[in-house]
Structure 1
Amino acid sequence: MTAPPKMTPMLRQYLEIKEDYPNEILFYRMGDFYEMFFEDAEVASKILGITLTSRNNKADTARIPMCGVPYHAAQNYLAKLVKAGERVAICEQTEDPSQAKGIVRREVIRVVTPGVTTDDQILEDNENCYVCALSRSSGESTPQWGFSFLDLSTGEFLAGEESDRALVPEQIIDHLTRMRPAELLVNEGQQDELAKLIEAATLHLPQLCITPRSADLFHVKEANHDLVDHFKVINLDGFGCGSMRQGIVAAGVLLDYARETQKSDIGHIEKLIPLNRDSVLLIDDASRRNLELTRTIIGNNREGSLLSVLDKTRTPMGGRLLQNYLLQPLQDIDTITERQDCVSFFHHNPAIRQQFRDYLEAIYDLERLNSRMVLGQGNGRDAVALRQSLAILPGIHTLLKQCATIGLQRIDNDFDDLAELADLLDRSIGDEPPVTLRDGNLIREGYNEELDQLIHLLRDGKALILGLENQEREKTGITKLKIGYNKVFGYYIEVGNAHLDKVPEHYLRKQTLVNAERFITPELKEFESRVLTAQERRLELEYQLFIEIRTTLAE
């Protein structure tokens, strides 16, 4: 009989955390690696093509399968796992190892799934990444269906309902194939009832990840309260969703899922948009495929579709918006006319059009940058991209004032060039920050006085020592006094035997040599302490300052 694996404190902690995430691959942070164990390691090693090893000694009969990926390259491996349909729980050290008593405390800081992610390696620039929740009423002769879509990377949040009993399954499939979610949340208590619909959905969307959720979440009263509380409103009437029931349930389930997976503020989800059949023309799946609106019939590729021919947009945001325009054509004549007036203006004003295109060319994906900042996932390079994008906004604002259509004037009236945030980023963030937040070089000199002193100390340490040495020579009159350093005693003042009669009383003898004595002073010990801790303090201070800046941006 095989003996059970040896339960070290680390392994015990791993299993305790894993117990809360049984359906996820657990990325367990150990030093500079994310480690995986047991079945997680076996699954991940096959998908990632990395070596599966074992943790115990070769002599142990109970060997623990394990594999790991470097922390600095984790995003690439994470993308492979998620694209393969896996859910990944990222478990980080949440305690300073030097302060830990026993094993370092660790916690899951977020869960990445096919439908809930903000990672560039997983997302497509010109396409939304939706997670969908599906809700169905029970105990009614004519069941009502609700559905909701959320793109966490942009904050777009939609909800709708269907109640035509004869057509509902086809209508739900039409919504799913039009929006193409990467993940579908369903009531775990209704999986048998939804089996045929789920089978049809996965037939049209082979990569669709099905995620069962607790039946306790699918209640309209709790969902409505959660949504109202999130948006800080009295009711949902202002969004046009007040009369919904199952649509509200689906939206509430999504909001709960976003909070559960991100474990952070999701304030960038600012409104709930109703999927209203009256305002847009909902094209059925067969028509979309035959017309090759966004995908070709052969190969299911974007290239060769109508969208690929029309898409001359200059930003990822514009590419996603154009696709939504194609998939949901307007029906309201006034809105159609207003949009056509904008197109006509740019057609007849090519110089202004080109100026807009030149400006937009330099703008990064502001929607997704904003989301990463709000979710606490933005890094220094995201901040630089945001700074460069915000610098373009005043020019666009000036151009808008030259536009004479109602639609463009409305944009001009609502336009905010975010000058204060642009100024903050310009003053605070360095030009070439690293990807990770703990490596320093994030913050500009001149932004924080303490940080400037630390940078000066690290960069000009030798000059400071020379200055201190000259200062002591002048005070004591010992022209051959020198300051040195070794690993045993640290910094010291060395005085030759011929000048020992000039040594001040506050000098403390540290070491006796053949031809000299070595001393320390309170001032020198303070300098030593500052030098030895300067790099560590600088990294920690830069991290704290960046978090403060990111929080300000998120607000």
Structure 2
Amino acid sequence: MAEQTVSPMMQQYFEIKKQHPNEILFYRVGDFYEMFYDDALTASRELELTLTGKSCGKEERAPMCGVPFHSYETYVARLIAKGYKVAICEQMEDPSQAKGLVKRDIIRVVTPGTVIESSMLSEDKNNYLCSVYCKRTRGRWRAGICFADISTGEAYATELNAEKIGAAIITELCRYMPSEILICPPMLDFKDVTAYVKQHTNALVELREDACYKDSVMQTAMTDQFGENWRETLHYEADALVPYAVAAMINYLHETQKHGVERIRTVQNYADAQYMRLSPVTRANLELTETMRGREKKGTLLWVLDKTETSMGKRLLRSWIEQPLVDAEAINRRLGAVQALYTSTMARAELKEALNHVFDIERLTTRILYGSATPREVKALGDTCAMLPQIKAQAAGCSAPLLTALAEQIDPLEDILQGIATAIVDDPPASLKDGGAIRAGYNAEVDELRDIMHGGKGYLSNLEARYREETGIPKLKIGFNKVFGYYIEVSRSYADSVPDSFTRKQTLTTGERYITPELKELENKILGANERLLALEHQLFVDLLNQISAQIVRIQRTASAVAQLDVLASFAEAALQNNYVLPTVDTGDVFEIKEGRHPVIEKMLKNGLFVPNDTLLDEDENRMLLITGPNMAGKSTYMRQNALIALMAQIGSFVPAASAHIGVVDAIFTRVGASDDLAAGQSTFMVEMTEVAEILRSAGKDSLVILDEIGRGTSTFDGMSIARAVVEYICENIGCKTLFATHYHELTSMDKDLHGVKNYNIAVKKRGEDITFLRRIVAGPADDSYGIEVAKLAGLPGSVTRRAHTVLRQLEAAAPGRDNVMQLDFETVEAYNNPSVPSEVMDKLHSVDIETLTPLEALNFLYELKTALDKD
């Protein structure tokens, strides 16, 4: 069969698709976005769409599927969630006005990190795009990393100079959890980072070429975005790497968004030292914003503390929980604000009531800037502006310095409110396409055109009545359709009464349709008015959007202040509802909790009260609490609650306790629970040892470390030896505050050997072979392990537990020194494991320069060492 000529429309499609080979192309055709070939195959599979075909001048029909343009966001959201990018190709002119082929062009590429549509975003979570640039200088890796939420205009960046740069990058990724990551080519060599992203996030990774990071490219992007003096404005040193990361992000946004990139007006630089260090493992173990199993909000610290009224507040609360402060002064400013709102019941209630009427002005402003806001969304911004004076007054009325400062940051935005109230009707339509959004009296021409339209319909009624009277045809009527416009319809029985001035236009089975010059003139007037009115309303609306966009800095500053007030009020409300207290936070080393409670578990308990416990830690006598006791008695809960209380205090929240004195903790490290990492080929014990190793490398004297059952994944003596060595290392080399739970009762003697170790246990009440957990932490070591009793509580058959008791008594009777707690001679063991090395060998090792050895020289050197040892 001869090949047909490819249609002009498909030629246009091929040209546009060639520019976007890696995206699914949504190609606008009339009321649909169509997809062809591989895009159609992918979309039909992922979206469960019916696959059809289109003749494209080739022997085989092109696979094709489509989605309605008015509901395309739903389909795009599903593709984005599956990791695809979508290029939106729009008709750039009205098809009815186009001469020949309708012009089309890409208006935007939607990617996971560049979504701005509210239907695709979670209102309580930021959607971050990340950019990472790393470079090796003077034999050491450094990195610049930037995070931006395009939907709100926020941008944050920091320089990373850690010894283990991969781990530092992972920490930052974990802090912000971006949905898309731009990386430079050298990042491909950081296998730990790529493994983390692949296994623990759903982020789309985009590899940018080396050319994106050239000095000239960076300079141009930063100057265009932030001005000639961007280094001074953003406080970047000459050798900083962050500008390269920021520039790569800005250029990527220009490629994908086409416009609206000016939403990012500044970049907030932060230092790693500003926030508490929380490893990915710690965040997961403490279940800060999602549970470990269900990945849901309920059962997390976020769930307990979220009493916010606005979407902006919900996002900021999550951010504060993810990034606890380490500056005692900043923490106490927040606590002072919460205390003021806590005690001012009426002010707090009125503030929360006002906040309840605040819309998401951060994301509304972005949609306004992009020109995609609807009349209802603009009206929502106006409604929010109307609440700002009340919010400002309530904040200013409290004496706390932070509340006063936030009140000053709130701009009432009267001009924006006035502009919206004057231009937009009280109940605007959902879409601008049908008109009716512009208020009467706002524009004289709009009013005139509406009069013509409404008057025109009145003219039609009058004309119809006149024609009936003049012709004597009682059922003559004037109608309208899109083919002929306005027409006069007369039934066949009155055909002879039609005057000669009527021109026949159409014959029907029931009658005839006519037009007159007078009717045609009236039609042109009415239809022209309607078309002109729609165009004028659209232009006036666009002008209003531009006026609002020009005030974006004021709006953004106000939105930030309102969000902070919302979170502070949320803390005060949570404190009141949950019986929390104001903690004392300072730079000392004391960590003292009286009657502390687990904030989440006490809320989850349906029956019974949570049993509170005290804690005393410092960097001297009480550096490490060695906690023993049976499983299920509450050791893990106790340790976690202390970590959560420290974190709550340092985000500015009241805490679940009778009293709390928190010396600022710079990091929290946890090793709790057991889990295999089968994907990485690691057993439970290997995972545990890897995590412990990371803690020992990273913890400092101001850190809080929580270790639960270290060494249980191997033989008893191996595990016990590792556990003891870890305790000794922490006490002697780090000196940080530590909670260490163990089943190795032999370790309880370490309080005599190591300064700062204290024994505590979970109290248990025993009646024969039955036990009751009292959930109380008391001084001293546990008197037994109660393993069999716990097994009985867990439902093991009675015959099994009775047999276990018999076996246990036999083993205890046969054990040497059964009347004494078994003690190990650790000095003897150490001497056995670490025999003295001949001085000749040590001298050779100290003198060799490993960096300059060839493989053959290294082999000869090893032979010399072996010979020296054999001689000894």
Q: Counterparts of 1:479 and 1:419 in 2: how far apart (Å)?
A: 60
Displacement of 1:191 after TM fit? 5.8
* Aligned residue runs from structure 1 range 68-217, under 5 A: 68-138=66-136, 140-164=138-162, 166-187=163-184, 189-190=185-186, 192-205=188-201, 207-217=202-212
Q: Deviations over 1:31-74 (max 9, x none)?
A: 100000010111111111110111129x9741100100001111
1:54–1:435: structure 2 CA closer, same or farther, 3 Å change rule? farther
SS state at 1:391 partner:
helix
1:529–1:485: structure 2 CA closer, same or farther, 3 Å change rule? same
1:130/1:152 contact within 8 Å kept: yes
Confirm or deny: 8 A CA contact 1:147 1:160 kept in the other structure.
yes
Q: Give the Cα–Cα distance (whole angstroms) in 2 for the partners of residues 200 and 489 of structure 1.
A: 65
Distance 1:403 1:464, change over 3 A: farther
Q: Per-residue deviation at 1:302?
A: 2.3
Who is 2:8 aligned against? 9
For residues 315-337 of structure 1, the C-alpha deviation after alignment (integer angstroms, 9 at most, x for no partner) is: 11111111111111112222222
**Aligned residue among 384, 396, 407 for 2:391:** 396
Shift of 1:403: 1.8
Instruction: Map 1:370-519 onto structure 2 (within 5 A).
Output: 370-465=365-460
CA apart distance, 1:180 = 0.6
Question: 258, 261, 280: which is aligned to 2:256?
Answer: 261
* Alpha-carbon contact 1:92-1:107 (below 8 Å) kept: yes
What's the counterpart of residue 246 of structure 2?
251
Q: Distance in 2 between matches of 1:445 and 1:192?
A: 60
**Residue pair 2:23, 2:84 contacting (<8 A) in 1 also:** yes
- How far apart are 1:265 and its partner, in Å? 2.8
Q: Give the SS at the match of 2:458.
A: helix
**Correspondence for 1:548:** 543
Among 252, 265, 275, the alignment partner of 1:280 is 275
**Cα distance, 1:15–1:346 mapped onto 2, change above 3 Å:** same
Give the C-alpha shift of residue 380 in structure 1.
1.7
Q: Is the 8 A contact 2:167 2:192 kept in 1?
A: no
- In the alignment, which residue of structure 2 is the partner of 1:37? 36
Give the Cα separation in 2 of the matches to 1:489 and 1:235.
60
SS at structure 2 position matched to 1:436: coil
Residues 222-231 or 297-306, more deviating: 222-231
Distance 1:62 1:471 in 2: 61
Q: Deviations over 1:502-529 (max 9, x none)?
A: xxxxxx97769xxxx99757xx765432
**What amino acid is the match of 2:270?**
L
Measure the CA separation in 2 of the matches of 1:489 and 1:89: 38
Aligned length: 530
Q: How far off its partner does 1:466 sit?
A: 6.0
| Residue identity in the other structure for 1:8 | S
Query: 1:264 touches 1:376 (CA, 8 Å); kept in 2?
Result: no
Q: 1:236-290 CA distances to partner (integer Å, 9 max, x unpaired)?
A: 3333434562211111111111222111132221210113123222322222122
Instruction: Provide the secondary structure at the position in 2 that maps to 1:160.
Output: strand
* Kept after mapping to 2: 8 A contact 1:237/1:243: no
Q: 1:396 to 1:471 in 2, by over 3 A?
A: farther
More displaced, 73-82 or 219-228? 219-228
1:235 and 2:230 equivalent? yes
Cα shift readout 1:396-424 (whole Å, capped 9, x = no counterpart):
12223312121111122232111111111
Point out where structure 2 has 5 or more consecutive residues left out of the alignment.
489-498, 505-513, 551-872
Classify 1:190/1:101 alpha carbon distance in 2 versus 1 (closer, same or farther; 3 Å): farther
CA distance in 1 between counterparts of 2:194 and 2:214 reads 21
Whether 2:524 is the aligned partner of 1:529: answer: yes
Deviation per residue, 1:112-148 (Å, 9 max, x gap): 1111111122211111000111111257521221111
Is 1:295–2:286 an aligned residue pair?
A: no
Distance 1:143 1:535, change over 3 A: same
Spell out, residue by residue over 1:306-363, the C-alpha distance to the aligned partner (whole angstroms, 9 max, x if none).
1111111111111111111111111222222211111110011011001111111111
Structure 1 pair 230/250, CA: closer, same or farther in 2 (3 Å)? Answer: same
Q: Secondary structure of 2:292's match?
A: coil
Amino acid at match of 2:232: D
| 2:756 matched residue in structure 1 | none
Whole-Å Cα distance in 1 between the matches of residues 325 and 485 of structure 2? 78
Larger radius of gyration: 2
Aligned letter for 2:154? E
Partners of 1:437 and 1:263 in 2: CA distance: 23
Q: Give the conservation status (yes or no) of the 8 Å contact 1:17–1:107.
A: yes
Structure 2: distance between partners of 1:353 and 1:464:
59
Q: CA deviation at 1:98?
A: 2.9
Give the alignment's TM-score, normalised by structure 2.
Answer: 0.57
**1:222 Cα shift?**
3.1
Measured in 1, the distance between the counterparts of 2:380 and 2:5 equals: 48
Inter-partner Cα distance in structure 1 for 2:307 and 2:55 = 57
Query: Do residues 46 (structure 1) and 45 (structure 2) align?
Result: yes
**Cα gap change, 1:509 to 1:25, in 2 (>3 Å):** same
Question: AA paired with 1:94?
Answer: M
**AA of the residue aligned to 1:38:** Y
Give per-residue Cα distances to partners, 1:362-387, cap 9 Å, x unaligned: 11111111111112221222112212
Given that 1:158 and 1:275 are in contact with CA atoms closer than 8 Å, whether structure 2 keeps it comes out as yes
C-alpha distance in 1 between matches for 2:239 and 2:330 = 25
Matched residue SS, 1:241: coil
Please tell me whether the aligned partners of residues 491 and 528 of structure 1 are also in contact (alpha carbons under 8 angstroms). Answer: no
| Aligned residue type for 1:88 | V
Does the 8 A contact of 2:423 with 2:442 survive in 1?
Answer: yes
Deviates more, 1:91-100 or 1:463-472: 463-472
Provide, for residues 177-232 of structure 1, a one-character-per-residue CA deviation record: whole Å limited to 9, x for no partner.
22110001112x43642455222222121x11011223211134532442243123
Corresponding position of 1:505: none
Moved more, 379-388 or 218-227: 218-227
Aligned residue number for residue 333 of structure 2: 338
The SS at the match of 2:26 is: strand
Distance 1:485 1:422 in 2: 45
Aligned partners of 2:375 and 2:486: how far apart in 1? 35
* Paired letter, 1:169: G
For the structure 1 residues 300 and 237, does the alpha-carbon distance in structure 2 shift closer, same or farther, using more than 3 Å as the test? Answer: farther
Alpha-carbon distance, 1:458 to partner: 2.4
Q: CA deviation at 1:102?
A: 1.6
Deviations 1:75-123, CA, capped at 9 Å, x for gaps: 1111111111110111110012233222100011111111111112221
Distance 2:442 2:477 in 1: 33
Match of 1:24 in 2: 23
Report the more deviating stretch, 95-104 or 70-79: 95-104
- Residues of 1 paired with 2:135 and 2:348: CA distance? 50
> Counterpart of 1:504?
none
Letter in 1 for 2:531: E
Partners of 1:98 and 1:298 in 2: CA distance: 56
Q: Percent identity?
A: 34
Preserved contact between residue 282 and residue 327 of structure 1 (Cα < 8 Å): no
Cα deviation 1:476-502 (Å, max 9, x = unaligned)? xx999999867779689xxxxxxx9xx
